[in-house]
Structure 1
């Protein structure tokens, strides 16, 4: 709305003889309870107008009505000047800005950003927490791409360590050679099954050793299973052929299982990194940090960094035996990623239990003067809870991602059939619709909440066709398409004399879409998109109920409303697409 701020600059110069910049003007969207579309805060102008905020607002409002064609009227509420733009302005906006295919599409901004998400362990299937992680990461990547960034979607797979060896050892002892093919069990679930078996058998050994007189700590260290797992890890690090072969085989099962889950979730990656290739990285950075005086060595040979002046504490970065800690390899991996892609920003999508870790990591990289260190961002998110008793997890501790998705599709089937929304659908179309609605419900429910907040996910509530849900928006889109499929909207401007209030409101909200994309990109929050699309769907339904489209008073008005409906469908589809959600053409 540059033309408004330009006019206000001229008004202030003419009325009060004072030069101001456009950036000095606080221009806001008018609150819903007041008339108008744009609001200017007049308090800052009183120092040179020498008048009350209300009188100043009246002066500027009268100037705008007299001198700006598109300003139709104004009102002043205390220190707020509410501006009503002319219907002609909003019609021009619809035809020149909103309806063209370029709407909501930003030119490349020359910046590259990496979004790293998922980061699974290869000893068990993905769970509910991974679902929020994957959906957040994928959606943020989509939003940043829409905002003009070149985006690299990365996945750092935790494919080594003692937890992997636990599954491998349990399979060796109790697996009897079974495979995903011989059992019909998905690969990641099969490996996860043996991780659980290891845990159960390990606990039995601990209890036996405690019964024999050992303390709990002694028993945990002395149990034969954990000693065997530690030996297997040592052999893996030494490159033992048999251990490496089993590791590759079982990880292969897991990757195949993960691929199926990612496909069902509708997420993908451009680049994979594996901890087995990165866990030795970072030691050269330790030497560099010692030379620069960023790190210091203690008497036992361990290397530390003192961050107490930054409000943190002392942090170990290399053990006395020369082995890495997590932060060591994370420094090395950050360097590797930057060397590979030279990105301007790097976003880590990781749960809030790692907040401290990333504060330390980013601070260390900044103190080392590493290229790209100032572009690092931890997209921290809260846990997801389920109402107790809603779902039983396969292992009894965490909710499995595949189980949850299957339940969502089943819930969508039951709710859709209850409401009779599949009349005339073939079986194949029904299955596709159930999946579209079920996954849309899951994704929207998890993404509509600010990432930082912990949330309670209720599968039944999420599939409510009348609530603040994905299915409500999907149904709105299908409703619009059913109208448009009956009569084609003309691809040319039609002239109407006056807009109804709800028509103007719809254009105003549609026009905000590019601004909403930029806001969501700047804050790395899909919730901004989700809530915008929900508000748009609500407003369209109000328009649909108040104003007949196909039975409009004349052909010109009918065509205009068809075009307005088409614009609404386009923005709903694009907005939901940024969340990774499909919208059905009919239901």
Structure 2
């Protein structure tokens, strides 16, 4: 907040002049509502420099600031807390600065390159609700980091190889009868996902048949013929078998086309895609170099491992006995390739918390291989998304499909909008846009307002509520402000006369002024939740202002002008914040 920047040099001067102490950092916080003040200096941390009574020290500081800063109107001391009151002129100037800054809160470029990886789906199934949390979280982090001054590259690693991919391919060969997205009318990712489920059904049937013959279940899982066929297909793919590769290319094309439609619906994009089918070979080369240097070791069966027991972990496989790659092999190669391609300073992996251990191991392996940039890799770990009915399972076909969910959210928005009677003035095209905007806003906000580390139980009906901490509530407030601005007939850019602030007005300005600091906090913590919940608090403050003070019916033109500017500034910050979260705001609702 700019007030902290204003106060800090004066505080440094006070301590140097009166106590001959060099103090570089001061702790500020918002004044608690039960006390009078606009910002509070916490005095207790200063007692390690100045051995005195905290209340007396706070009074001395307050006297100094009131005498030397015209922006300070008064102060009060509550134990070791110095509560400072600001002059109205200062807050009015703050509002004027916000009103005139179209990029309010945006930081200057800091010279650092950052890559954010998100989505990164498998090509054996369509995107689902879990992917939507990943995508909305990763995209929002990328947007926030860019606004905070980083040069940002958005990327994903397409998991387009491995045994799970071969399972879909094999099932299509066996049971598909040549059907295609065109012949079935299905999106390509949905069609391929159908055969991933079909493989699992056949696999379970074979396991049961083997168990019925007296084999243990664990033995049956390993000996099921269809699994052996899939494993053989993977080996043939890695050897470049023309028939297998051609099938793989065809089915992947179907999936990519389907993914692109979903990404477009979600409003996200990528600067570059990486493919495991390309990076795994580079990873294998790195493993060989590590073997030569003694970083990795071979077991008697030919598999390659690394021993991380000195770092408090255990042994980790990096290459199977048959020479095929594991996920770790591919991630090693991909990380190195990205550094070479973009010269990035930092990298954020948006991946669920079930992979926490994997990323600890990955970062340690890269460190052991001599890559110092491994210290700048960050795993943005997040909790899973459940439904009220329980956990989703891809192979059993019990996931919530992303495309279906997006459509269902728009239908839910339509139903609730009709119940509230807010659509009569719109034509059909405007209604469709509104339902999509509200539905997607509800979905994304419901996910993003939660701390990434926490698990979510997603309830579509609650997310589209027009009251409370929801996307539609914030969107509706923005639309309400746009209605006010449309009704204001005078020039909002005219000069404001001397003005005395109401408590509701000053409170709203102070919350607006927190926005630049919130951007930095959200970036430092990789947490869109901080920004989302700040926006809700801003909207609550505006609605309190709106309900208690008349805007267009104000007593004077000067008062009306000020409150219109305050409303417009609030709408500006809402729009910027929601854009960073990947959410649109409609001008009418």
Which TM-score band (shorter chain)? over 0.9
User: 1:89 maps to which residue?
Assistant: 90
Q: What's the offset of the Cα at 1:268?
A: 1.1
Choose which of 11, 16, 26 in structure 1 pairs with 2:14: 11
8 Å contact 1:125–1:189 — kept in the other structure? yes
Q: Deviations over 1:456-513 (max 9, x none)?
A: 1111111111111000000000000000011155224312331101111111111111
Structure 1 residues 209 and 321, CA, compared in 2 at 3 Å: closer, same or farther?
closer
Q: Counterpart of 1:464?
A: 465
Q: Give the equivalent residue in structure 2 for 1:247.
A: 248
**Aligned residue number for residue 311 of structure 1:** 312
In 2, Cα distance between equivalents of 1:535 and 1:229: 53
The 1:73–1:292 alpha-carbon spacing in structure 2 relative to 1, beyond 3 Å, is farther
CA contact (8 A) 2:386 2:392 kept: no
- What's 2:117 paired with? 116
Aligned equivalent of 1:445: 446
Distance in 1, matches of 2:368 and 2:300, equals 23
**Does 1:530 find its partner at 2:529?**
no
Per mean C-alpha deviation after superposition, the further-off stretch among 413-422 and 303-312 is 303-312
Q: 1:20 Cα deviation (Å)?
A: 2.4
Aligned partners of 2:587, 2:230: CA distance in 1, in Å?
A: 53
SS in 2 for 1:59: helix
Whole-angstrom distance in 2 between the partners of 1:311 and 1:405: 43
C-alpha displacement of 1:28: 2.4
Change (3 A) 1:47 1:450: closer
Q: How does 1:45-60 map to 2 (within 5 A)?
A: 45-46=46-47, 50-60=51-61
Alignment of 1:494-513 (within 5 A): 494-513=496-515
61-70 vs 305-314, greater mean Cα deviation: 305-314
Structure-1 separation of matches of 2:59 and 2:9: 18
Range 227-236 or range 556-565, more displaced: 227-236
Distance 1:316 1:32, change over 3 A: same
Aligned to 1:569: 571
Provide TM-score, normalisation by structure 2: 0.95
Aligned residues: 585
| TM-fit CA distance, 1:7 | 1.7
> Offset at 1:392?
12
The separation in 1 between residues aligned to 2:220 and 2:182, in whole angstroms, is 37
The 1:345–1:560 alpha-carbon spacing in structure 2 relative to 1, beyond 3 Å, is same
Contact 2:115 2:348 in 1 (8 A): yes
Find the counterpart in structure 2 of residue 103 from structure 1.
104
Rounded to whole Å, the distance in 2 between the matches of 1:392 and 1:485 is: 49
Closer/same/farther in 2, CA of residues 45 and 526 from structure 1, 3 Å limit: closer
The C-alpha deviation readout for 1:199-250, integer Å capped at 9, x for no partner, is: 1122112212222232223322333222222222222222222222221111
Paired residue for 1:343?
344
Q: CA deviation at 1:418?
A: 0.2
Q: Deviations over 1:523-548 (max 9, x none)?
A: 11100110011111111111111111
Counterpart in 2 of 1:474?
475
The Cα of 1:43 is off from its aligned counterpart by 2.2
- Residue 554 of structure 2 is matched in structure 1 by 552
Structure 2 CA distance for aligned equivalents of residues 332 and 378 of structure 1: 17
Normalised to the residue count of structure 1, the TM-score between the two structures is 0.96
Aligned to 2:24: 22
SS in 2 for 1:126: coil
Q: Superposed, which structure 2 residues align to 1:110-509 within 5 Å?
A: 110-388=111-389, 396-488=397-489, 489-509=491-511
The secondary structure found in structure 2 opposite 1:349 is strand
1:45–1:56 CA contact under 8 A, matched in 2: no
Contact 1:496 1:557 (8 Å CA) reproduced: no
Q: Which deviates more from structure 2 when the two are superposed, residues 493-502 or residues 79-88?
A: 493-502
C-alpha distance in 2, partners of 1:240/1:324?
17
Q: For residues 159 and 184 of structure 1, what CA distance do their matches in structure 2 show?
A: 23
- Contact 2:385–2:456 (CA under 8 A) maintained in structure 1: yes
1:585 counterpart (565, 584, 587): 587
In the TM superposition, what is the alpha-carbon distance from 1:35 to its structure 2 partner?
1.8
Q: Please give the alpha-carbon distance, in whole angstroms, between the structure 2 residues aligned to 1:76 and 1:399.
A: 55
Contact 2:197 2:397 (C-alpha < 8 Å) held by counterparts: no
Q: Is the 8 A contact 2:392 2:399 kept in 1?
A: no
**Equivalent position SS for 1:58:** helix
Distance 1:531 1:257 in 2: 33
Alpha-carbon distance change, 393 to 342 in structure 1, aligned in 2, over 3 angstroms? closer
The verdict on how the C-alpha distance between 1:296 and 1:193 changes in structure 2, with shifts beyond 3 A counting, is closer
For 1:63 and 1:75, the matched residues in 2 are separated by 13
- Structure 2 CA distance, aligned partners of 1:132 and 1:249? 29
Counterpart CA distance in 2 for 1:196 and 1:288 is 39
Structure 1: where are the runs of 5+ without partners? Answer: none
Does the Cα contact within 8 Å between 1:111 and 1:149 map onto a contact in 2?
yes
Contact 2:21 2:49 in 1 (8 A): no
**In structure 1, C-alpha distance between the alignment counterparts of 2:481 and 2:6, rounded to whole Å:** 33
1:64-102 deviation per Cα after TM superposition (whole angstroms, max 9, x unaligned): 112210000111111000111111111111113453223
Secondary structure in structure 2 of the residue aligned to 1:33: coil
Contact persistence 1:346–1:376 (CA under 8 A)? yes
Q: Distance in 2 between matches of 1:551 and 1:140?
A: 41
Cα distance in 2 for residues equivalent to 1:391 and 1:325: 25
Q: 1:72 to 1:221 in 2, by over 3 A?
A: same
For 2:89 and 2:47, locate their aligned partners in 1 and report how far apart those are by CA, in whole Å: 32
Q: CA RMSD in A?
A: 2.0
The C-alpha deviation readout for 1:166-190, integer Å capped at 9, x for no partner, is 2122222221221111111111111
Whether the aligned pair in 1 keeps the contact of 2:449 and 2:533 (CA below 8 Å) is yes
Deviation at 1:52, TM superposition (A): 1.5
Runs (5+) with no aligned partner, structure 2? none
